[in-house]
Amino acid sequence: MIRLVIADDHPIVRAGLHALFGLEDDFEVVGEAATPDEAVIAAELESPDVVLMDLQFGNRATTTGADATRRIRALDAAPYVLVLTNYDSDADILGAVEAGASGYLLKDAPPHELIAAVRAAAAGESALAPVIASRLLDRMRAPEVSLSSREMEVLELVAAGQSNAQAATRLFISETTVKSHLAHIFSKLDVTSRTAAVSAARRRGILR
C-alpha cells in the first residue's frame, strides 16, 4: 500500500486527487495539506511514502512547495516528493529538483500518467513529465543561460516593475550590487536593457 499526502491550497483539487487515488487498490491518502508548513507536519506525523506537492500556495503562505520539499527531504526516513503544479518555468523546475523532488508533473497530465508517476516515485524512481525532462536537458545543453538564485530574485523584481532602488531595499543589498547583478543578467541573456532581459527570460522559460 502506497501512503500518500496531498499538498495543495485548493480544496477542490485536493478532493479530486483524493477521489482519483481512492479508486486505486494500492493507494491510501493518509493526509492533506493546504500550506507548505502543513505539508511538512503531515509528512512527519503520517509517515507517507510520497507527498504530492504543489509549488505555489496562495498569498497566505509565506513559503513555497520547493521550501517544503527541502524540509521534507531532510526528515529522518523522508518520504519522496512528487511535484504537481501548473508552473513550468525553468526556475520552478530547477528549484524543485534541487530541493529534492523525485518527479515533476503538470496538472494537465492525464490521470493514468499521474498515478504511474506516484507509483514510480514511491519505488524511488524519477518521474518527470516529458516536457519537463526536455526542459532540463535543454538547460544542461545551454548552461550559459543559467542564472544564480540572487540573479533570479533581481530579475523577478524587475519583472514586477521594481526600480533598482526598490529591488535593493527588498533584497537588503546596495543599489550598486543590484546594477552588478543586472549587468551579469544582461550578459547571460545577450540583451542590453531591463525590458529585453525580462522578455528574453520569459521566452526561454526562465521566468513565468
Q: Where are the beta strands (DSSP E) in 38-141?
A: 50-53, 80-85, 103-106, 127-128
For cell 530547477, the residue is: 94
The CATH number of 2-140 is which of 3.40.190.10, 3.30.420.40, 2.120.10.30, 3.40.50.2300? 3.40.50.2300
Per-residue model confidence (pLDDT) at position 75? 93
**CA–CA separation, 74 and 83 (whole Å):** 16
Per-residue model confidence (pLDDT) at position 82? 95
Q: Which of 112, 118, 48 is nearest to 83 (CA)?
A: 118
Residues 59, 28 contacting (CB under 8 angstroms): no
The CA-based angle 85-88-89, given to 5 degrees, is 135
Instruction: Please report, in tens digits, the pLDDT of each residue of the chain (208 residues total).
Output: 999 999 999 999 999 999 999 999 999 999 999 999 999 999 999 999 999 999 888 766 678 899 999 999 999 989 999 999 987 776 778 788 888 898 888 898 899 999 999 999 999 888 877 777 776 666 655 555 678 888 999 999 999 999 999 999 999 999 999 999 999 999 888 889 999 999 988 887 788 6
Per-residue model confidence (pLDDT) at position 194? 92
Domain residue limits, the chain: 2-140, 144-203
First to last CA, the chain: 37
The CATH number of 144-203 is which of 3.30.110.40, 1.10.10.10, 3.40.190.10, 1.10.1370.30? 1.10.10.10
Per-residue model confidence (pLDDT) at position 28? 96
Per-residue model confidence (pLDDT) at position 142? 55
